Amino acid sequence: MSICSLRGLNVRFCRQAYILAHVRTGVVPMPGRTKLRLSLSITPLRSSHNNLYQMVKKRTLEARTKLQRNKFPNNQACEEETKNRSSPCNDQSGSTLCSSPSSGPSAPRPKTSTMFSYKSSSSSSSSSNSTSSSSQCKPEFEKLKDPCPKPKPEVQDKTSAGLKGCIKNAELLQANDCNISKRKKVTCDKKPCEDDGADGSKKGAGGSRGSIMGDDEAKKKTRMLMALLAALGLGGLLLWLQTRRKQKDGESTDCGPTSGLPATVPATSAELPKHVPYLLIGGGTASFSAFRAIKSNDPRAKVLMITNEFRKPYMRPPLSKELWYSAEKGEVTKDYRFKQWTGAERSLFFEPEEFFVEPSKLMETVNGGIAVAHGFAVKKIDPAKHVATLTDGYEITYDECLIATGCSPKTIDVFNQAPPGVREKVMMYRSPDDFERLKRYADEKKSITIVGNGFTGSELACSLANYAKDKKVKIYQIFPESGNMSKVLPSYLSKWTTAKVETMGVCVMPETYVKEAQRDDSVLKLALSNGKSLLTDVVVVCVGCEPNTNIALTSGLEVDRNLGGFVVNAELEARRNLFVAGDASCFYDPLLGRRRVEHHDHSVVSGRLAGENMVGKKKAYTHQSMFWSDLGPEVGYEGIGLVDASLPTVAVFALPTPNPERRADNLSEAAVIEGGGSGGGTVTVNPETPDVKCDPSNADEYGRGVIFYMKDDKIVGILLWNLFNRIGLARTIINQNKKYDDLNEVAKLFEIHA
């Protein structure tokens, strides 16, 4: 017999039992008695009919439960687990109440699961414990001693009130979720026991009324639940919209001000002074270094700095190195503090906010100072009239002016020509705001792809891999060259460095470039030149930078066609009383020819020299600037001079040895440097010290060594691999500008085994 036919048969039995249980027979008027008192002569007959009705009803519900279980097997897991245990809900001798929270919005729930029927004690209240989603049992009701206790003569309203009180007590127990410590048993002393009498017809009405009240309570609960779900859904929608807006604000690639910062400081250019003794265009390292030089020679100097950035002057190198290692140990502070290689902590900013003067009060300051105008840019300079014109047409006259506009990061055509949805996921890396955004991606365990193998790209890949090593963040690095730092390091050392970067957890893909970029929901799909596709959450483009020389054409200034940058003389002067320093300057090196350098040390020294010349020092720029880089905690190097992989190189590395101290041979006594570290001193080589040679093809590990870059058989550049505090010696060797017969003897001066 099928489930459907069994269900139909049970329905017919249920109807017949209901008719027998509620038939109006044997009604005897009883004057002087309460209307609710019925004749006791037919009570056993009525109770048996009622028991039959409840039994058929229970089997009907069981059949319905079985049918629902077949339709929704996942929703009955909790019920089946309950049935396997011996539960007091299955005890038919006592009255129990079983309830369970709905397993989900799709869980079937019969109407009888929220209704309460009150009957004589001979029929257990089992109509509520046969729900399809029942998995947890409430405490038992106290068993009644008398199957039909005689009620006191009370009016019908009091009986109804008692019925309501019993329902409330049962609902309270159900809501408390088996809080047995407070309320173990709930009894209904006011439960009416009905018998045949003058008003025996009230029995059916009373049962019907109890069912109606149960329906009202169920509807009330349903309405409250629906209202709660609607409120939760509305709150979740508002929270999602707010979070999405914040993410869009964070993913913006606009170089404008961040949230919470004004558009310009001051609000309008009219608040800027009309004339200043010293005008600095640019807010980077070179510009601030020039201010320090001016202030040290002119204590009451009044300096105005104009920049399109919205932060006070700061250092850029820690953004890709030290700042990530400091962020690994805790939260980043407001002033971006980090630990230097010496162990000392310092801020990313050169000076705190209190150090600077408001632009509108600069000329009123007695002791002078520096004021920074944020969000402004200069579009034209008239060197003859000493006038600088802002983009809004406001003019400022000056006595001395410095151009230190620095560089802007380059991008790739495949991303420039991409739709706006793709460009939202592409960013440059140049400022603290970029650091914050990339750190948020790493904290959210997003995949990051870095395009480029230069200083910033390689350093950032290693720093991110070290920062996110416990976060399981996937870091990719893509570049068309054969290895990391291929424009600086020799080919064999570049390939070795690439393998070292891969061991840190970076997925390096050399000789590969991005052919196409598409937006796929919340991620980018990159089509690579090797035929593969890459899904990533964000792309960081680190392919170098180009000098900001936009004002050269309108100002009549010369720009080098090959190297870029403003052409200046030996005193870093482009025109009379107009100087250029930092990355945007193209200067003449007496030893190496015309150059343009993009390193922190060059910005500091050139800015300082330009500041000194602005107060009348008239010094020539002969400094050989240095640079440093870190590729993770195990690889670091310093370089000076013309370090170019296209030049011939000679490298000397220390061979691995279990006891390197024995091979030092007191080499510190072999090098005698005469003269200043940066001047034209000489180096004396001790020919008796043993040779230190290393064949690159046989070296598995390049631990420590020195690389000489040659041009016309002269040393024009030196790179110190995992050797530090030896830049002064390297600068002296380059300044000697002479040929060496044996470079192994020169390498001994650097004590690579010490």
* Spatial CA neighbour of 733 closest among 752, 711, 749: 749
What CATH number should be reported for the domain whose range is 272-314+352-406+548-615?
A: 3.50.50.60
pLDDT at residue 243, rounded to an integer? 67
Q: Out of 327-341, 426-440, 477-491, 655-669, pick the least confident.
A: 655-669
Give the span between the Cα atoms of 186 and 97, in whole angstroms: 10
| Mean pLDDT for the stretch of residues 89-95 | 40
Contact by Cβ (8 Å): 111, 215: yes
Residues of the chain within CATH 3.30.390.30 domain(s) are: 634-749
pLDDT band at 70 (very low <50, low <70, confident <90, very high): low
Tens digits of residue pLDDT in 696-750:
454 457 889 999 999 999 999 999 999 999 999 999 999 999 999 999 999 999 9
The proportion of the chain whose per-residue pLDDT surpasses 70, expressed as a percent, equals 65
Contact by Cβ (8 Å): 728, 672: no
DSSP 8-state symbol, 589: E
Tens digits of residue pLDDT in 253-270:
443 334 444 578 999 999
pLDDT at residue 59, rounded to an integer? 81
Which residue would you say has higher pLDDT here, 315 or 58? 315
- Residues with Cβ < 8 Å from 637, sequence gap 6 or more? 628, 629, 719, 720, 721, 722, 723
Angle value at C-alpha 506, between 505 and 512, nearest 5 degrees: 155
pLDDT at residue 426, rounded to an integer? 96
Beta bridge partners of 587: 595
Say which CATH architecture domain 410-546 belongs to. Answer: 3-Layer(bba) Sandwich (3.50)
Contact by Cβ (8 Å): 219, 227: no
Q: Is the pLDDT confidence value at 678 over 80?
A: no
The CATH topology of domain 634-749 is: Enolase-like; domain 1 (3.30.390)
Strands 387-390, 395-403: parallel, antiparallel or unpaired by DSSP? antiparallel
**Alpha helical stretches, state H, 468-548:** 491-503
pLDDT at residue 71, rounded to an integer? 53
What is the gyration radius of the CA atoms in the chain, in angstroms? 43
* Residue with tokens 């009416």, as numbered in its chain: 192
Q: Is the pLDDT confidence value at 95 over 80?
A: no
Tens digits of residue pLDDT in 279-310:
999 999 999 999 999 999 999 999 999 999 99
As a whole number, the mean pLDDT across the chain is 76
Give the span between the Cα atoms of 23 and 209, in whole angstroms: 17
Q: Is the pLDDT confidence value at 381 over 80?
A: yes
CA distance to 55, 128, 187, 189, 363, per residue, from 165 (Å): 27, 18, 10, 10, 84
* Spatial CA neighbour of 601 closest among 743, 730, 491: 730
Tens digits of residue pLDDT in 230-255:
888 888 888 777 766 655 554 444 43
Give the span between the Cα atoms of 365 and 358, in whole angstroms: 10
Q: Is the pLDDT confidence value at 23 over 60?
A: no
Which residue would you say has higher pLDDT here, 633 or 79? 633
Tens digits of residue pLDDT in 645-658:
999 999 999 876 54
pLDDT at residue 195, rounded to an integer? 41
Q: Each residue of 224-253: b (16+ CB within 10 Å) or e?
A: eeeeeeeeeeeeeeeeeeeeeeeeeeebbe
Contact by Cβ (8 Å): 709, 729: no
Contact by Cβ (8 Å): 428, 540: yes
Residues of the chain within CATH 3.50.50.60 domain(s) are: 272-314+352-406+548-615, 410-546
Phi, psi of 285 (to 5 degrees): -65, -45
